[in-house]
Amino acid sequence: MNNFNTAIIECEKENEFLYKFEGNIKFAEDEEEVHGLEIDHVCMRGSSLRNTEWIYGLAIFTGHQTKVMMNSSASRPKFSKIERATNRYIIFGILIQTILCLIAAIFGTWWNQFWYSDGYGF
């Protein structure tokens, strides 16, 4: 039985290719014997083993470096037709209100200058 505390694992850099893995493992007691690691020796994240009494396992890549995480992409947000139409109506309403506010501000400024600068004001 080998001691995994002193094992040295050399493997490829993390990548998104699910069906490709190359690496080697060697134990400190037996420096000359190198065991190859291939994709058949890898259990992907979320997989389960059945019909086995025991197993040795090492975590090589964790977190966002796992092949499954690197291979997944963000899903596109989905909107119904009603949601898209409502969004358009809201944007249209805000645009109309902005235009009306600008027109009212310009007219109000002109009105104040016309009535109060010529002496017609109250």
Give per-residue pLDDT as tens, 14-73.
Answer: 776 667 778 888 877 766 778 777 777 777 767 788 888 887 777 776 666 666 666 666
Task: Inform me whether the pLDDT recorded for 1 exceeds 60.
Answer: no
**Structure pTM?**
0.41
What share of the chain in percent tops pLDDT 90? 25
pLDDT band at residue 81 under the 50/70/90 scheme: very high
What pLDDT score was predicted for residue 24?
80
Cβ proximity of 11 and 22 under 8 Å: yes
CA distances from 92 to 13, 80, 89 (A): 50, 18, 5
Task: Inform me whether the pLDDT recorded for 109 exceeds 80.
Answer: yes
CA distances from 22 to 10, 14, 43, 75, 84 (A): 9, 11, 14, 30, 48
